[in-house]
A and B are shown apart, each in its own frame.
Chain A
Amino acid sequence: MAAKPATKTKLPKQPSSPRTLARPNGGDAASLAEAVNAFAKGKLDVIIKPQDYSDPGLRLIAEALQGAGQGIGTQLKEFNERVKNVSQGVDEAIEALIRLVVQGDLSGELRLAVTDSALTPLIAGIAQVMETLKRFVTEIREAALQLSTSSAEVLAAATQNESSTAAQASAIHETTATMEELKGASHQIAENAQMVAAIAEQTLIGARAGEGSIKAFMASMEKVRHNAVEVDEAIGKLSKRVERIGTVVEVIDEIADRSDLLALNAALEGAKAGEAGRGFSIVAAEMRRLAENVMESTKEIKNLITEIRESTHSAKEASDGNKREASEGEKLGGAAIQSVSGILSGIQETSDAARVIHLATQQQRTATEQVVLSMSEIEEVTRSAQSGSRQATGAASELTKLAERLAELVKRFKID
């Protein structure tokens, strides 16, 4: 690698041509001191001529000064030369570094046109810097690759997150709307449940009244049945007495029939007796008339008894029917009481259930309102999250681009 000095390094001024101290009186101590002072000030071009000093001591000093000046000049010349070389090497190294950095080629080694031991640490340091740069570039390349991959993943994740957040926001919005509807429905259910409870209460009162009426009806039925039994017994007694009357009337009728027969035979005998039996015949005819009256009366009584029998039979049937109907009414009343008891129990349960539903729906309504409130807050947070996701997606996209850009930049460094 060729190195070319880029800048001029200011070196100590080197005596170009010796300067002779012009002393009119020559070789004295003062001129010698002047020369020493000039040396001290860095003016090495002062020419000391020892032969000009007549004093041997001063001459010796002049000779020593002359030698020292010559030695210092030589050394200074060498020093300047070395400084020039080192400066050139530094320039070359800096130029080479700049070029390396500009070109991004870290694959080679630093070679300088000049060699100097003083440049060794610089070269070593530059080499170390290059190695460090190589390592950095390698690591940056790997990091850029990982960054690119990660940023792509982040972008994908952010995009998905944005999509999910949007879907979530939509779902939350719908859920909020649904919860609003649910709140309204809960309100409606609570009102309906309250109405059901009120109706059930009224029905309960009505059913209890119905139960009382049925019990009164059953008491009436029992009384009817009891009365029917009494009527039945009375009809039985009446029937027996009518039968007894019938028997008596039969006897009377039989007697009347026999009386009629006797009267007929008496009239017959009276008629057979002729005029003597006339009165007898008249009495017999009267007896017969009485007997016929009795028979007519017994016939009427029989008819009446028959009518009474028929009426009694009808009354007995009606009484039996009343007993059956009363018994059936009692059974129906019992069944109605059981039904009403079941209805009362059911209505009571319905009323209790309606109250429980009313309370539950009120609690549900309160909870739903809280949920609606929370959902609104969640929706707000989700909107913020959606906005954040959008920003994150934009940032991830930007990051991906930057990662790609970084990868492109890193690719410019050649390390192999």
Chain B
Amino acid sequence: MNEHVNELLMFQIGARVFASTVRDVVRIGNVAEAAPGTLIEGTSLGATFARERGVVVAGEAAGTEATLVVDQVLGVRSVPDSQLLPLPAFVTAVIPASAVSGLVLLEDAPTLVVDLPALVRERLAAPPAHPPPPHATA
């Protein structure tokens, strides 16, 4: 019997790599081409440095979008369910972000799986934890 496979979008913010299910992503775009006021950065995932890509996510309101500013989009990976793990309790205590939904083991290395809609909600509900760099307001 074939194991269910999850399609995860891999992206990098700062030095860390994150994963997110492709269903939550509308498209990949350029930060420079994003509409003003739709960029989300300075989140609990960390500070960006290259700000090359934007992961466009559907907004809460119908027809709206939000763009998570990332440094790099690494690609799409197919991951079986067996590699998806729930978030341990001590990690929840260490990582304040509520948008992290679990872990995925890639080459035996744990990678945080981010719930992008939750991150958008979290970001819209609270002021940015990390102020954006000066060139972030382009």
Contacts and interface: CB of A to CB of B under 8 A. Distances in A.
Q: Which of A264, A267, A274 has the most chain B CB atoms closer than 10 A to its own CB?
A: A264
A268 interface: yes
B27 interface: yes
Contacts of A270: 76
Nearest to A275: B5
Interface in A229-279: 257, 261, 264-265, 267-268, 270-272, 274
A267 B30 contact: no
A268 B30 contact: no
Contacts of B25: 268
Contacts of B14: none
* Size range of the chain A interface in the assembly: 10 to 19
B22 A261 contact: no
A257 B50 CA distance: 14
A46 B118 CA distance: 232
Interface in B1-36: 7, 9, 22-23, 25, 27-30
Interface residues of B, number: 14
20 contacts: A261-B29, A264-B75, A264-B76, A265-B27, A267-B75, A267-B76, A268-B22, A268-B25, A268-B27, A268-B76, A271-B7, A271-B9, A271-B22, A271-B76, A272-B7, A272-B22, A272-B23, A274-B7, A281-B76, A285-B75
The B contact surface, by secondary structure, is strand
B76 A261 contact: no
Contact of B78 (A257, A268, A271): A271
B73 interface: yes
Given A264-B28, A272-B23, 13 more contacts: A261-B29, A261-B30, A264-B53, A264-B75, A264-B76, A267-B75, A268-B25, A268-B28, A270-B76, A272-B7, A285-B75, A285-B76, A288-B75
Contacts of B27: 265, 268
Contacts of B53: 261, 264
Interface of B: 7, 9, 22-23, 25, 27-30, 53, 73, 75-76, 78
Nearest to A267: B76
Q: Across chains A and B, which 7 residue pairs bring their CB atoms closest together, nearest first?
A: A271-B7, A264-B28, A271-B22, A271-B76, A267-B76, A265-B28, A265-B27
Contacts of A272: 7, 22-23
Chain A contact residues, majority secondary structure: helix
Contacts of A267: 75-76
Interface of A: 257, 261, 264-265, 267-268, 270-272, 274, 281, 285, 288
Contacts of B76: 264, 267-268, 270-271, 281, 285
A96 B27 CA distance: 190
A68 to B, nearest CB: 203
Contact of A264 (B7, B23, B73, B78): B73
A276 to B, nearest CB: 12
Most buried by B among A261, A271, A274, A285: A271
Nearest to B8: A271
B38 to A, nearest CB: 17
A257 B31 CA distance: 12
A281 B8 CA distance: 13
B50 to A, nearest CB: 12
B23 A261 contact: no
Contacts of B23: 272
A281 B76 CA distance: 8
Contacts of B75: 264, 267, 285, 288
A286 to B, nearest CB: 11
Contacts of B28: 261, 264-265, 268
Residue from B7, B9, B29 with most neighbouring chain A CB atoms (10 Å):
B7
A330 B23 CA distance: 76
A281 B77 CA distance: 10
A23 to B, nearest CB: 216
Contacts of B73: 264
